[in-house]
Chain A
Amino acid sequence: MIPRDVPAIDVTHVTVAYREKPVLWNVDFTVPAGVLLAIVGPNGAGKTTLIKAILGLVRPAAGQVLLYGKPYREQRRLVAYVPQRGSVDWDFPTNALDVVMMGALWGIGLVSPAWSRERDMALEALDKVKMTDFAERQISQLSGGQQQRVFLARALVQDAEIYVMDEPFQGVDATTERAIITLLRELRAQGKTVVVVHHDLSTVPAYFDWVTLLNVERIAHGPVADVFTEQHLRRTYGGNIALLTQPFHAEERSQPYV
């Protein structure tokens, strides 16, 4: 069902504009299957827009995105989305398990009486993110990191081939960061492809295999060892030296969870 000879994600000449100003300009890259890819760039670089274009949530003015050789519309089942935590109202009257079960709500399946299967899948996913104890907890009572893990579990329920995550590490605790990293590696070991919008330059080499440096245009794209260079970062972030020097002294300051 899933062809292995084509790239998991193939972005060609994608341009997106809100009003007149382009947010993404002629972005081109391909991602092979089984890779952990970080999308990195300054604020307003179009990172979120790029993943929304991959997910078909934003219609590009030009260009196209192919997932395993076909447009998103035909490949929906293969893609799972982990939105930014702040994109929903966590005071919504529901619990963690219920949110995770939303991931099982695919297709036009109207009334599905057999809830137990979905429930089992959801509990299993919660277990993978170490949230079993919080299954029945009202979602507003969860910490930011726990909320993030609920979103991850919801995506896991979809059992997708491509996972697209918008800043999953944003403002989470150490436990959650470790849990996410463990999860990303498990997914990679299963041959899944994970695209992560990422903010913390210092952890890019430790956490990811591939990186896309983005600032409206694609600055560089490829394996971290090849393209995560000071020269490329300088081009991505402009003259912001403070940000630039950070990743190269990072090992001394903070230990990424390896």
Chain B
Amino acid sequence: MFDLIHTLLSSYTIRTVALGAAVLGVLSGTLGCYAVLRRQALLGDALSHAALPGIALAFLFTGLRELSVLLLGATVAGWAAALVMMLVVNHTRLKEDTVLGMVLSVFFGFGLVLLSFAQKQPTAAQAGLDAFLFGQAASIVERDVLTMAVIAAVALGLMVLFWKEWKLLSFDPQYGNTLGLPMRWLDIGLTSLIVVAIAIGLQMVGVVLMSAMLVAPAVAARQWTDRLGLMVVLAGGFGALSGVIGAVISSLARGLSTGPVIVLTVSLFVVASLVFAPNRGLLWKWWRHQRNRERLQGAVQRGELVLGVPALDETGS
């Protein structure tokens, strides 16, 4: 056991990947709470797919594979997608889910075209650019983790700073408007953070699975608590834990790519939470149902309760 831990800690790659995955897990888990509570789970999916053309364009323009450059491209593309969605929803009769679906496929399709174009470039630098599709955690280096950690720290700081405002935005935005709070800007700020969180997760889990990192920890955490504060902390913890576990598992077994393993791990957290969590869990509900039934039957047997159609008395009440 200790040997295993020692091996893990001493391996540079595993350590870097696990650390990166943990940072990503914390950030996407905490921010995902807002996405889930605001019923914007699908927004994350659309934004992550929409980030692909941004990555490809950033590479084509600069010729660099620097994470910060690609992140910038992904973020700008994500923002553009969010803006397009907002404009289309506000100015046409299309429903939001339709617009989400359209923007997702249009941006993603465009991204794939650009990606295949970039692959044909004569330089060697484009190698591995397609890793952003499904993620390639092993390609992460220490500097990438540092970039991710700085961004995550800023994002978490903002979350603390705007805690009450973003809670209100998630619960009752219209009321926030009547209080004179700049709800639109708070919305834009929060969505921007989600875009950034998605961008830094792309290298690790890829555009296709990234939305799971946003949604799954939040869904799992919601099962265990009725307080937003604890939910956010738990979601961050679940995200980080899944990241580390996924990174370790994929490093122990050959041929398992890290991103999907992380996503599967976090899905296990979801399933376990849906089944076992107190109050909201399925087992709990089933047990409560059984207990009520037994009590009711016991009461009937002891004659305390009469089941069936009560006879009408004279008053007809």
Please give the residue numbers on chain A whose beta carbons come within 8 Å of chain B beta carbons, in ascending order: 55-57, 76-77, 79-81, 83, 87-89, 92-95, 99, 102-103, 105-108, 110-111, 138, 140, 154, 158
CA distance A87 to B176 in the complex (A): 13
Q: Among the interface residues B162, B164, B176, B231, which one has the most CB atoms of the partner chain A within 10 A?
A: B164
CA distance A14 to B41 in the complex (A): 38
A46 CB to closest chain B CB (Å) equals 17
B274 CB to closest chain A CB (Å) equals 15
Pairs A-B, 6 closest by C-beta atoms: A81-B178, A76-B180, A138-B226, A93-B228, A88-B172, A106-B179
- Kindly list chain A residues whose C-beta atoms are within 8 Å of the C-beta of B176: 105
- Kindly list chain B residues whose C-beta atoms are within 8 Å of the C-beta of A140: 226
CA distance A93 to B228 in the complex (A): 5
B165: interface (CB < 8 Å): yes
* Contact status B227-A94, CB under 8 Å: yes
* Contact status A105-B172, CB under 8 Å: no
CA distance A108 to B182 in the complex (A): 8
* Contact status B180-A77, CB under 8 Å: yes
* Contact status A111-B161, CB under 8 Å: yes
Contact among A76, A92, A108, A158 with B170 in the assembled complex (CB-CB below 8 Å): A92
CA distance A164 to B316 in the complex (A): 44
* Number of residues of chain B lying within 8 A (CB) of chain A: 26
Contact among A87, A89, A95 with B174 in the assembled complex (CB-CB below 8 Å): A87
* Contact status A93-B225, CB under 8 Å: yes
Please give the residue numbers on chain B whose beta carbons come within 8 Å of chain A beta carbons, in ascending order: 37, 39, 161-162, 164-165, 167-168, 170-172, 174-182, 222, 225-228, 231
B83 CB to closest chain A CB (Å) equals 21
Identity of the chain B residue whose Cβ is nearest the Cβ of A76 in the assembled complex: B180
* Contact status B180-A55, CB under 8 Å: no
* Contact status B178-A79, CB under 8 Å: yes
* Contact status A107-B171, CB under 8 Å: no
* Contact status B178-A76, CB under 8 Å: yes
- Kindly list chain B residues whose C-beta atoms are within 8 Å of the C-beta of A56: 177-178
